[in-house]
Amino acid sequence: MSMIDVESLLSEISADAPCGEDLEYDPQFAEMEKEAQGTPERQYGDTIIPGDPPNWRGVSEAAQALLERTRDLRVAAYLTRAALNTDGLAGFTEGLALLEGLLEQHWDNVYPQLDPEDDNDPTLRINTIVGLCDPETTLCDLRATPLVSSRSLGRFSLRDVQIAAGILTPVASDEENAPPNQTMIDGAFQDADLEELQAIADAVAAALGHAERIEALLTDQVGVTEAPDMSALAGVLKEIRHVLAEQLERRGVGIGSEDEAGEIMEGTIATGAPVTGPRMIVGEIASREDVIRTLDKICDYYKRYEPSSPVPFMLKRAKKLVTMDFVELLQDLAPNATEQTDLIFGLQPEETE
C-alpha cells in the first residue's frame, strides 16, 4: 500500500494556478518545520533534560495537508524525510518519486519559484534537493533505517551492519545494549520474511533510479555547473543494496553476480506505473547524451580548478566526435586518409560525403 499518493500530488491544483500558491509563510508551513527540528538537549545547572527527536508523523501530516494547496519542493522534501522515518525505504522511494515528478512535470511553476529578477536563479530549488544529501540529517536517517526485522533477533540497519564490521564505532555500549554483531545480523536476515526483504531491495533499486533521474533533470534545466551532486545519497543507497544483495543470495534468491545485483530492476515513475526498458545503474554511462554530459562535467572541473590546463580543449574536440560514425571520424581526424579509406571499404565518393 502506498504511503504517498504520488499521482494525486502531481496533478494540477487548478487550471489558473497549476501549483497553487506559495505557502512559505503559512502557519502550517512553520509548524511542519518546527516538528522536523525536534528539541535539543538542555541543561539547567546539574540537570540535563534529554532532547526530543523530530515528530515525523506530525511533519507528514502537515506536509500532506500543505500539498493539497501547493506544489512545493520544500514541502515534498520534508514529506520524503518524514516517510523515510515512518515508513522506511518504501516511503522514502515514494518521496523521491514525488520530487522527480514535480521537477519533470511542473518545473515552470513549482515552488520555490525561479527568481525572475536574478536571471531565473534556481538556488532555492537546488538547495532543497541538496538537503537530501546532508550527512547529518537525511543520510544519517537512511543509515539508521531498518533493513531487516526478525521477531527473535530484532531489527538491524546499515549502521548496525557497519558497526558489526568495525567500520563504525558505537557511541556507547553496556550489557543491556551490546553493539550488534555479524552473527546476530546474519541470523535476522535468515529469519526474516523473504518477500519483505525482496520488497526492500526493490525499493532501494527504485530509489537509486529516482536519485539519478533527479540529478539528470536538474542538469538539463540549470546546467552542469549549477546542478547538485547526488553521489552522496546514491552512495548510501548502494551500500544498502550491497548488504541486501549478499543476504538475499544466502537465502537462495537468484540475484546473480554483484554487478547484476547492482542493477536497478523496475522502479516506478511518478504515476506509479512500472518503468520498462534497460536496467540502469546510477552513474552508468548508457547513451551518447550521457557521454556528452560527463565530458561537460570534466571540462567544468578543469575550468574551476585547473584553468590553465589544456585538457578541456582536447575534451571539447572529443565531444565533437561523439556523434560521428567511423568514416566521419576518419575524415575529421585524418582528412588525407579518406582516399585510402574509400579504397579499403569500397566506398564511392558520394557515399563518404
Question: How many CA atoms lie less than 13 Å away from 291 in the CB half-sphere?
Answer: 11
Q: For 295-324, what is the mean pLDDT?
A: 79
Q: What is the pLDDT of residues 3-61, one digit of tens each?
A: 899 999 999 999 999 999 999 999 999 999 999 998 877 777 777 777 789 999 999 99
Amino acid at 232: A
The rounded distance, in Å, linking the Cα atoms of 63 and 77 is 9
Residue 272 has pLDDT above 50, yes or no: no
pLDDT band at 326 (very low <50, low <70, confident <90, very high): low
For residue 31, give its domain range: 6-144+193-284
Contact (CB, 8 A) for 201 and 244: yes
Indicate whether 165 belongs to any domain.
Answer: no
Indicate whether 72 belongs to any domain.
Answer: yes
Q: What is the pLDDT of residues 194-217, one digit of tens each?
A: 999 999 999 999 999 999 999 999
Indicate whether 329 belongs to any domain.
Answer: no
What does the angle CA 287 – CA 292 – CA 296 come to, to the nearest 5 degrees? 145
The rounded distance, in Å, linking the Cα atoms of 193 and 200 is 11
Indicate whether 333 belongs to any domain.
Answer: no
Indicate whether 22 belongs to any domain.
Answer: yes
Indicate whether 307 belongs to any domain.
Answer: no
Q: If you search the block for the grid coordinates 487550471, which residue do you land on?
A: 15
* Structure letter (DSSP) for residue 336: G
Please count the structural domains in the chain: 1
Whether the bond between 112 and the residue before it is cis, its omega within 30 degrees of 0, is yes
Indicate whether 198 belongs to any domain.
Answer: yes
Q: Where are the beta strands (DSSP E) in the chain?
A: 42-44, 47-49, 146-150, 154-157
- The structure's pTM equals 0.72
CA distances from 330 to 61, 181, 192, 318, 345 (A): 62, 60, 59, 13, 13
Residue 52 DSSP SS3: strand
Query: Which residues touch 315 (CB under 8 Å, ≥6 apart)?
Result: 295, 298, 299
Least confident window among 109-118, 214-223, 316-325:
316-325
CA distances from 133 to 20, 48, 86, 99, 141 (A): 28, 31, 19, 14, 11
Q: What is the pLDDT of residues 90-140, one digit of tens each?
A: 999 999 999 999 999 999 999 999 988 888 889 999 999 999 999 999 999
pLDDT band at 274 (very low <50, low <70, confident <90, very high): very low
Contacts of 319-325 with C-beta under 8 Å, sequence gap 24+, read: 319/292, 319/295, 322/288, 322/291, 322/292, 322/295, 323/288
Indicate whether 233 belongs to any domain.
Answer: yes
